Amino acid sequence: MPVHCKRDSGYLAEKLINQSKTMDAQFILLLVIIFLALAFDYINGFHDAANSIATVVSTRVLSPRYAVIWAAFFNFVAFLFFGTHVASTIGKGIVEPKIVDLTVVGCGLVAAIIWNLLTWWFGIPSSSSHTLIGGFVGAAVAKAGWDSIFMGAVLKIISFIVLAPLIGIIVSFIFSVITLHIAKNFSPAKVDKVFRRLQLLSSGAYSLGHGANDAQKMMGIIFVALVATNHLTVDNEVPLWVVLSCHAAIALGTLSGGWRIVKTMGQKITKLRPFEGFSAETAGALTLFGTAMFGIPVSTTHTITGSIIGAGITKRLSAVKWKVTLGLLWAWVLTIPVSAALAALFYWIVISLTT
| 3-class DSSP assignment, residue 298 | coil
What is the reported pTM?
0.76
Q: Distance between CA 185 and CA 54 in Å, rounded?
A: 28
Name the phi and psi angles at 81, rounded to 5: -110, -20
Q: Distance between CA 158 and CA 98 in Å, rounded?
A: 23
230: left (phi over 0), alpha (psi -120 to 50) or beta: left
Of the candidates 55, 25, 3, 27, the residue with the CA atom closest to the CA atom of residue 267? 55
Give the rounded distance of the alpha carbon of 27 from its chain centre.
26
Domain boundaries, the chain: 38-354
Give the pLDDT of the chain (355 residues) as one tens digit per residue: 554 444 455 544 454 455 555 557 788 888 989 999 898 888 877 766 666 676 777 777 777 778 778 888 888 888 777 767 777 777 777 888 888 888 999 999 999 999 888 887 776 767 777 888 899 999 999 999 999 998 888 888 888 777 888 888 888 888 888 888 887 777 777 877 888 888 888 888 888 887 777 778 888 889 888 888 888 887 888 888 998 898 888 888 877 765 555 555 545 556 677 777 788 888 888 888 887 777 777 777 778 778 888 887 877 766 666 666 666 677 778 888 999 999 999 999 999 988 7
**In contact, 56 and 266? CB cutoff 8 Å:** no
DSSP, residue by residue, 286-329? HHHHHHHHTT----HHHHHHHHHHHHHTTT-GGGS-HHHHHHHH
